[in-house]
Amino acid sequence: MGQHYEEFIRRVKELADLGHAQGMLSWDQETYMPPRGAGPRARSLGTLAGIYHERLTDPALVALVEKLRAGDLQGDAEVNLRYVERDQRRALKIPRELVVELSQTQSLAHEVWVEARKKSDFPLFRPWLEKLLGLQQEVAHRVGFEGSIYNAFLDQFEPYARIETVAPLLEQLRLRLVPLVKGIAAAGLRPAVGILDREFPVDRQEAFGRRVLADLGFDLERGRLDVSVHPFCSSTSPEDVRLTTRYSARQLTSALFGIIHEAGHGLYEQGLPADVEGTPVGGSVSLGIHESQSRLWENMIGRSRDFWEHYLPVLREYFPDQLKGVEVDAFYAAVNQVAPSLIRVEADEVTYNLHILLRFELEQALVEERVSVAELPELWDEKMVSYLGIRPPDAAKGVLQDTHWSIGLIGYFPTYSLGNLYAAQFFAQAQKEMPGLMAGVAQGDLLCLKGWLNRQVHTKGRRLNAGELVQAVTGEGLQVEYFAEYLEEKYGELYHLR
């Protein structure tokens, strides 16, 4: 058995090495690749994906998995076998022609979506979304699922999560959020957000961002910070984790919160167990858990009053003229403005989850064939009115705004809200175990929380699934209560709701 397992791990690490190459090529595509390099890059990535699929489904690896399954693996070995088997089984069930058709349809659909969004023309995109949905449904049927077909979609991004658990959580969340949003609107307070909209030279913004990055304990010997159109975190190893952000000279905080958000992802990746690198057990748990790390740092720390207690005076050293006379209370209020808005990626912490809920409900209804693609724009707008009280003026600011569906990412959206729930529950637990945590933050100590997350979450790799991890760290399953309370308390105070 030992010899089989060794050969199994050799092959698994080879797959990880291929993944490393794919990751690097994708990172470069978003950062430094010259404009005309896109064609050859797509070809190379296509070939690597083909080789990856070929080696994952190699009969020799299939046979190894079968042999090992017959044995009684324990601990890390059991985790490694289980996750490889998951991926392999999925890959084996999808014929090569379907993989190719799906990949080509995604590329073409994405191009049409770009055009359709530009023209705000949903009917242009509609046949492509229909085709893509049909292909994805075929994949789901081939891969198999229990209960709702949506489970096959969700499971790709949040392993072992099920709609039967997720839907009630998000519905509970909705019931807490809608009155909160209404209360805030009724309060009629408008923070002075104009203080964030002055001339803030980009090089100073970057210098301050790097200062915060260092304070967060992000290791630049094992990582980088660059610029891209859409901020992201890309990791090929705990030894090489790369963040990006984007700067706007007229907006102070978007680049900074981008850095903190991506650093949250990056700290997770740098904190993964390096001794089992290249095997499933050395990887991250799920998109939801990943998002919990970025949102905890960005929102619960980066948008906290304690954080700015320490950092506003530091920031003022970088922008003495622009921030003259700006006090912590005003700054804190400005970075936490709540207002219903049309665009998800620009939404605040409170309304954000209503944007997610809307998408989650619609995509679930789509794949379960309770609604048709043709009905989407109408349903979208109705839900916007119902949840946020505003109606998109056109499809570009409505149903066409996100890229996800155009590249086949159905079942992805709920992981954003799950991330918020996980984050709040971890945050509450951290504060319970370290009552002085936020007092430390107010003095610039961010490493205390980083150390706690390293110990409680990061170093565990993928040894527990998301549900097990939350249970192990907090002593109970995932609850809506922590996030809802966090929001109600923070915004209740900010908007004088109590």
Chain contacts with a second copy (rule: CB under 8 A):
13-14, 17-18, 20-21, 24-25, 28, 32-37, 39-41, 43-44, 46-48, 50-51, 219-224, 226, 236-237, 239-240, 277-278
Rounded CA-CA distance 380/387 in Å is 11
CB of 420 to a second copy, least distance (A): 30
CA gap 49, 26 in Å, rounded = 12
Please give the backbone phi and psi of residue 246, each rounded to the nearest 5 degrees, phi first.
Answer: -135, 145
Three-state SS across 321-359? CCCCCCCHHHHHHHCCCCCCCCCHHHCCCCCHHHHHHHH
CA distance 397 to 388: 14
Q: Looking at 94-201, list the stretches that DSSP marks H as alpha helix, in order from N- to C-terminal side.
A: 96-119, 122-143, 150-157, 163-187
- Please give the DSSP secondary-structure letter assigned to residue 369: T
Q: Is 151 helix (H, G, I), strand (E, B) or coil?
A: helix
Amino acid in the structure at residue 497: L
238 vs 340 by CB, closer to a second copy: 238
- Give the residue among 383, 388, 44 at the shortest CA–CA distance from 182: 388
Catalytic one among 158, 262, 361, 363? 262
Least distance in angstroms from the C-beta of 109 to a second copy? 24
State which residue, 204 or 224, has the beta carbon closest to a second copy.
Answer: 224
Task: Closer to a second copy by CB, 27 or 380: give it.
Answer: 27
Catalytic residue flag (residue 262): yes
Take residue 449 and report the two structure tokens written for it. Answer: 């929380």
The phi and psi torsions of 224 (rounded to 5 degrees) equal -145, 165
Rg (CA), the chain: 23
| Contact status, residue 127 vs residue 376, Cβ threshold 8 Å | no
Tokens of 50: 């083909």
Q: Which is nearer to a second copy, 35 or 320 (CB)?
A: 35
Rounded-to-integer distance, Cα 441 and Cα 80, Å: 37
- Distance of closest approach, residue 451 Cβ to a second copy, in angstroms: 20
User: Which is closer to a second copy, CB of 16 or CB of 424?
Assistant: 16
Backbone angles phi, psi at 227, to 5 degrees: -115, 140
β pairing state of 233-237 and 240-245: antiparallel
Please identify, using beta-carbon distances, which residue of 32 and 147 lies nearer to a second copy.
32
Nearer of residues 41 and 119 to a second copy, judged by Cβ: 41
CB 193 within 8 A of CB 337: yes
User: Catalytic site residues?
Assistant: 262
